[in-house]
Each structure stands twice: as structure tokens, then as C-alpha cells.
């Protein structure tokens, strides 16, 4: 399992119709050798978690520009917990105020990357974090 490429689901939850950033991140992760599944626009948290489980991903990258990040990210985490899939890393990006980011981190969301983040920073984060989670989930 440790030898397989990192698998990431990139998702747009809710009614947010702006996906340029999500597509850029998905392309960057793919170019870095990761397997990427992009769900497209307007997914529910239930659809995102179902796809993540079906695709056996290591991480879910949520993009939020609509202001619904607190509700949507929390619901994805809740569903992952209900399904016993807590080893799946949830990280995100978009326009998320610092106070909300702290709350989301406290709930269990990994790093949040704001507008203008160098995409290589996201690649480095996943390359660092995923092996730790794989080791923990294999024990």
C-alpha cells in the first residue's frame, strides 16, 4: 500500500460554482505523480464521502469560495467518522477567514490553503502527511 501513488479526491461542495482553483490544484497534484479524482461542481458532502470511499483515496481536498465552509467541511468530517474512514485526510482551500480556519482545524481538517498559495506547498504537505496516516491506519 505504501508503494502506490497518493490518491486525492478534489471536490467542490455545495452551490459554489467557481472551480478554476480546484482544477489548478488537481492538475498540479496529478503532475506531481498523484492519482486525482475531480468530482466536478455542486456535490453534497454525502456524494463526496461516497466517492472518496469508492475510490479508496488518501485525502479529500475541498474547495470553498461560497462561505459555506464551516457547514460543508464539518459534514464531510462527520460522515467520514460515521463510516470509520478517519484516516482520510481532509484539507482545503478557498476564501476562509482565519478564525474559521482555526475552528475547522480544531474539528480535524488539515491544512487550509488560501488564494495565491504556491501549489508546490500543497504537494509537499500531502507528500509529508499521507505517509504518516498510511502508517497509522495499517497498525
Using one digit for the tens of pLDDT, what is the confidence trace for 88-135?
999 999 999 999 999 999 999 999 999 999 999 999 999 999 999 987
CA dist., res. 75 & res. 117, Å (int): 25
Q: Is residue 86 within a helix (H) or strand (E), and if so which, with residue range?
A: none
At 78 the pLDDT is 98
Q: What is the residue-wise DSSP string for 7-33?
A: EEEEEEBTT----HHHHHHHHHHHHTT
Domain ranges of the chain: 7-138
List, for residues 23-74, the tens digit of each pLDDT value: 999 999 999 999 999 999 989 999 999 999 999 999 999 998 888 899 999 9
- Residues near 95 by beta carbon (within 8 Å), at least 6 away in sequence: 64, 65, 67, 114, 115
At 2 the pLDDT is 58
Task: Give the CATH superfamily of 7-138.
Answer: Cobalamin-binding domain (3.40.50.280)
Amino acid at each position: 500500500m505504501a508503494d502506490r501513488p497518493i490518491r486525492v479526491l478534489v471536490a467542490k461542495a455545495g452551490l459554489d460554482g467557481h472551480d478554476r482553483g480546484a482544477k489548478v490544484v488537481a492538475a498540479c497534484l496529478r503532475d506531481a505523480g498523484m492519482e486525482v479524482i475531480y468530482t466536478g461542481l455542486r456535490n453534497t458532502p454525502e456524494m463526496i464521502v461516497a466517492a472518496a470511499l469508492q475510490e479508496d483515496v488518501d485525502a479529500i481536498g475541498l474547495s470553498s469560495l461560497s462561505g459555506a465552509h464551516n457547514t460543508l467541511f464539518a459534514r464531510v468530517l462527520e460522515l467520514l467518522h460515521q463510516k470509520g474512514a478517519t484516516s482520510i485526510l481532509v484539507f482545503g482551500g478557498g476564501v476562509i477567514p482565519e478564525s474559521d480556519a482555526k475552528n475547522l482545524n480544531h474539528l480535524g481538517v488539515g491544512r487550509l490553503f488560501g488564494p495565491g498559495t504556491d501549489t508546490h506547498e500543497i504537494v509537499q504537505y500531502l507528500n509529508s502527511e499521507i505517509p504518516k496516516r498510511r502508517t497509522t491506519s495499517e497498525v
